[in-house]
Chains A and B, each alone.
Chain A
Amino acid sequence: MKIETRRQIYEFLGLFVIRLSMLIIVASMVLILGFIVYRGIGVISWEFLTQQPTDSMTRGGIFPAIVGTFYLVLGAITVSFPLGVCSAIYLNEYAGNGRVIRIVRFGINSLAGIPSVVFGLFGLAVFVVYFGFGSSILSGSLTLGLLILPVIIGASEEALKAVPMTYREASLALGATKWQTIKNVVLPAALPGILTGSILGVGRAAGETAPIMFTAAAFYTRILPRSIFDEVMALPYHIYVLATAGTHISQTRPIQYGTALVLISLVLGVNTIAIVLRARLRKRHR
């Protein structure tokens, strides 16, 4: 009897701790989101989304920043998706587990842990100055691309690993070459996971400030970019500028929250697309 009650106490305590953690996480998420929505929803309007900032950015919209973030993210994914997927295929299907490969893997994992401001400085040194791309969409995209490369490689490798060995065996046993097997069987089966991981990478790229600070982002531009060598405004940098560097910091507070709300909505939107896409692809493959 005694043991029985002690067990029940443990059971109760264990469940309690787990539930509490869950509650704290959900509560903080709701709190953050709610706060931003509460403070930012007031400025959201069609004009806010489609107009230029005016009056030293204390009024008007954030359209150039939305456009800039869109270009930067598009550029980043264009650079890092093919590179990342190909590296993941090499690592998972061809490389084996030799010493050099283990070091390469370690390097990629470490890349994921490097502070984003370091990527920013690297981008400044290499793309902006050395290659002479200047502060531009190109430099910013390449820098962001590098930043999310480990995310994409990691997600792709996990997705490839999750493809059952039996698929590969079945294909090889039919006289398929290794590449035919990868292209026709392994990649289609891994695609949902690869896409999800990559789109999560997009979300990450959209939200980063430090990497674009020195490589792409403009404090304020009136004109929309006309080529990949133009500077752009970007949502996270816009928030940073309004909140720290302007002369009207408290006056622009609602715009800061509004911009944050737009940024969060975009990222959530992209993630939702990822989830829907994955569900669809999975259904097609089941």
Chain B
Amino acid sequence: MSTQKDIKISVKNLDFFYGKDQALFNISIDFVANNVTALIGPSGCGKSTLLRTLNRMNDIIPGTRVKGDVIFDNENIYGPKIDVVKLRRRIGMVFQRPNPFPKTIFNDVAYGLKINGMKNRTEIRDRVEHSLKSAAVWDEVQTRLNQSALGLSGGQQQRVCIARALAIEPEIILMDEPASALDPIATQKIEELIVELKQKYTIIIVTHNMQQAARVSDTTAFFYIGKLIETGQTDIMFTRPKLKQTEDYITGRFG
């Protein structure tokens, strides 16, 4: 329990449906500010679905339906007054596969700034540079900002995508298995970056990699077939989980 800590975003009694299929059952979970929370569980357990409910990314999938509340800044993000576009400016997202735009690296990172109305070129240039530095990829791309990001390695592409998310200065960053398509060295860089970023951001990460969850996260939440089974401080979850099911999954006995 982390009641005395600052809660950044809070899910309350959330059900989620793809058409008639229910994917999430009565999920309630708080995400602490400037913490890394890892969502773990076997494939199809609903962890990515939950992640995508937090910035309403599931809205773009036809036939989906949400019941329950997600409280962010004292407001339910599924409430009628919420502007989804503004919400997504405050809650950034990094996807499973690096998905740079078919633009130059500079324009890729600047995209979020430009669509949000930033016009001053020096300001844009500074923010792009700063974001790429924060994403620990500046040294590798600074000489090729006018080339396509598609020519970079997967790990570099993913860090450019993180820089792109950082550029618009969100408060929360959602990461959907951000290193699952990367080799071990690139993965390590992303993990170091995540730990670095939590100084400024609240990070929620979906991962299949138990060691990764143990290494980067402060809190871990274990999901199984659409239900939140157990959540707690990561070191405790990985050493003395309350439930046998959690222990079995973490130690690799199933899943």
Contact = CB atoms under 8 A, between A and B. Distances in A.
Interface stretch (A71-79, A134-142, A184-192, A223-231): A184-192
Contacts of B161: 170
Contacts of A166: 95, 97, 99
Contacts of B150: 286
A175 B89 CA distance: 5
Interface residues of A, number: 22
Name which of B102, B112, B150 has the most chain A CB atoms within 10 A of its CB: B102
B1 interface: no
Given A166-B99, A188-B102, A174 B92 contact: yes
Given A173-B92, A174-B89, A175-B88, A185 B57 contact: no
Contacts of B142: none
Most chain B C-beta atoms within 10 Å of own C-beta, residue among A164, A175, A185: A175
A175 B85 contact: yes
Contacts of A174: 88-89, 92, 111-112, 115, 164-165, 168
Interface string A144-178: 00000000000000000000101111111111110
Contacts of B101: 167, 170-171, 185
A167 B103 CA distance: 11
A193 B116 CA distance: 29
Contact of B115 (A96, A184, A188): A184
A285 interface: yes
Contacts of B57: 169, 172-173
B62 A96 contact: yes
A75 to B, nearest CB: 33
A180 interface: yes
Contacts of A97: 62
Contacts of B85: 175-177
Contacts of B217: none
B99 A167 contact: yes
Contacts, number: 71
Question: Secondary structure at chain A's binding surface: helix, strand, loop or mixed?
Answer: helix
Interface string B35-69: 00000000000000000000101001010000000
Nearest to A180: B115
A173 B115 contact: no
B95 A172 contact: no
B99 A176 contact: no
Interface in B94-131: 95, 97, 99-102, 111-112, 115-116
Given A97-B62, A170-B99, A175 B86 contact: yes
Given A174-B88, A177-B85, A286-B102, A184 B62 contact: no
B102 A170 contact: no
B111 A171 contact: yes
B148 A286 contact: yes
A169 B99 contact: yes
Contact of A176 (B90, B93, B115): B115
Given A168-B60, A180-B115, A173 B165 contact: yes
Interface string A183-211: 01100110000000000000000000000
A164 B88 contact: no
Given A180-B115, A184-B111, A173 B93 contact: yes
A175 B102 contact: no
Nearest to A168: B60
A1 B27 CA distance: 62
Contacts of A286: 102, 148, 150
In the complex, which of the residues B95, B111, B150, B165 has the most CB atoms of chain A within 10 Å of its own CB atom? B111
Nearest to A163: B102
Interface string B138-181: 00000000001010000000000100110010000000000000
A139 to B, nearest CB: 41
12 contacts: A97-B62, A166-B95, A167-B101, A169-B60, A169-B99, A170-B101, A170-B161, A172-B57, A174-B115, A175-B88, A176-B111, A285-B102
Given A168-B60, A170-B95, A172-B88, 11 more contacts: A97-B62, A170-B164, A171-B101, A171-B111, A172-B60, A174-B165, A175-B85, A176-B115, A180-B115, A185-B111, A285-B102
Q: Which 6 A-B pairs have the closest CB atoms?
A: A175-B89, A285-B102, A166-B99, A174-B112, A173-B93, A175-B88
Interface of A: 96-97, 164, 166-177, 180, 184-185, 188-189, 285-286
